[in-house]
Amino acid sequence: MQILDGKALAKKIEENVSYEAKLFKQTTGRVPGLAVILVGHDPASQAYVGMKKKACDRAGFYSVTHEMPDDISQDAIIKTITMMNDNPNIDGILIQLPLPNHIDTTKILEVVTPSKDVDGFHPFNVGRLTTGLDGFVPCTPLGVMELLAEYNIDPKGKDAVIVGASNIVGKPMAALLLNANATVTVTHIFTKDLKAHTLQADILLVGAGVINLIREDMVKDDAIVIDIGINRTDDGRLVGDVDYDAVAPKTSYITPVPGGVGPMTISMLLSNTLKAAKNHANEAQ
């Protein structure tokens, strides 16, 4: 069993992005810029935004966070996004999810101009991912693919089973693995016999948000297990969706929580923002 160390890889990627950002500043006279919209006071969202801000600072990016109250109107959010779409100093716009129930999340995500959609949630970028064209890919699935590549794990021809079918993780993860020539099964809350599917997985990717959803008897020997879940226990510990202590000895590779996929998500956000900045600079020439 080998641990897939996302923390170490994320640090390496961040150092590379920081170096490239310095070169970008030398050639263009500006730095990559990221704007974040944070609505409400959800502690997890605030923590994520705080981590993203620190990562931007370390990489030498310009970053700004627009904090808005829970009861903000949809029109007010759209007005702010439109302003950032038009701001040449902003290369990436990130809408911190989830949004309050009275806000139409789909509508808000569609307002972000695709060239600044560094989270890869706009239908334009979703379509490009599905058809194998270059665009912006959601940061968490992209981070998983980078982690697999770092450890020379080629999905080609492997049976990949995804647990969870969200627009943020499950669906783009499936598209990336299909593009990498894996045979992909996507399971979700209505799947009849989850264990029957997970036992077939050469690569098992779990992002359902349920503590210890995947038990030892649900994983075949020498499987590669990617735990994308991040949950907080009653005693404050961060754990994933996989019963790590029981499952890990059976695997060939496994991600820990914390220290696996989580750090990769933020490093991919930096990478996407740098990519957006370079695209904008090329367009301006």
Question: Which one, of 67, 194, 204, 65, lies nearest residue 148 by Cα?
Answer: 204
Tell me the whole-structure pTM to 2 decimals.
0.95
Report yes or no on 58 lying in a domain.
Answer: yes
Is it the case that residue 284 has pLDDT exceeding 90? no
Helix%, strand%, coil% for the chain, nearest 5: 45, 15, 40
Q: Are residues 165 and 214 in the same domain?
A: yes
Where residue 211 sits, what CATH number does that domain have?
A: 3.40.50.720
Q: Which pLDDT score, from 0 to 100, does residue 232 have?
A: 86
Q: Are residues 99 and 152 in the same domain?
A: no
Q: Where residue 36 falls among pLDDT bands split at 50, 70, 90? A: very high
Whole-Å CA distances, 107 to 43, 78, 98, 137, 270: 24, 9, 13, 19, 25
Q: Are residues 45 and 92 in the same domain?
A: yes
Q: 244 near 273, Cβ under 8 Å? A: no
Q: Which pLDDT score, from 0 to 100, does residue 96 have?
A: 95
Is it the case that residue 285 has pLDDT exceeding 80? no
Q: How far apart are CA 191 and CA 188, in angstroms?
A: 5
Q: Where residue 43 falls among pLDDT bands split at 50, 70, 90? A: confident
pLDDT tens across 95-118, in order? 999 999 999 999 999 999 999 999
Whether the upstream peptide bond of residue 98 has omega within 30° of 0, thus cis, is: yes
Q: What is the DSSP letter of 274?
A: H
Q: Which pLDDT score, from 0 to 100, does residue 278 have?
A: 97
For 20-32, give one letter per residue: b (16+ CB within 10 A) or e. Answer: bbeebeeeeeebb
What does the block give as tokens for 150? 């770092």
Is it the case that residue 2 has pLDDT exceeding 80? yes
Q: Are residues 148 and 243 in the same domain?
A: yes
Report yes or no on 267 lying in a domain.
Answer: no
| Residues designated as active site | 52, 96, 119
Q: Which pLDDT score, from 0 to 100, does residue 47 have?
A: 86
Q: Are residues 256 and 158 in the same domain?
A: yes
Q: 137 near 176, Cβ under 8 Å? A: yes
Q: Which pLDDT score, from 0 to 100, does residue 72 have?
A: 97
End-to-end CA distance of the chain: 50
pLDDT tens across 162-208, in order? 999 999 999 999 999 999 999 999 999 999 999 999 999 999 999 99
Question: Average of pLDDT values for 15-42?
Answer: 96
Spatial CB neighbours of 183, under 8 Å, sequence gap ≥ 6: 157, 158, 159, 160
Report yes or no on 145 lying in a domain.
Answer: yes
Q: Are residues 78 and 145 in the same domain?
A: no
Domain span at residue 209 reads 139-262
Domain count, the chain: 2
Q: How far apart are CA 138 and CA 56, in angstroms?
A: 18
Q: Which pLDDT score, from 0 to 100, does residue 45 have?
A: 87
pLDDT tens across 234-282, in order? 888 889 999 999 999 999 999 999 999 999 999 999 999 999 999 999 9
Q: Are residues 202 and 246 in the same domain?
A: yes
Q: Which pLDDT score, from 0 to 100, does residue 233 have?
A: 87
24 vs 231, more confident:
24
213 vs 42, more confident:
213
Per the prediction, the chain carries an average pLDDT of: 96
Q: Which pLDDT score, from 0 to 100, does residue 212 have?
A: 95
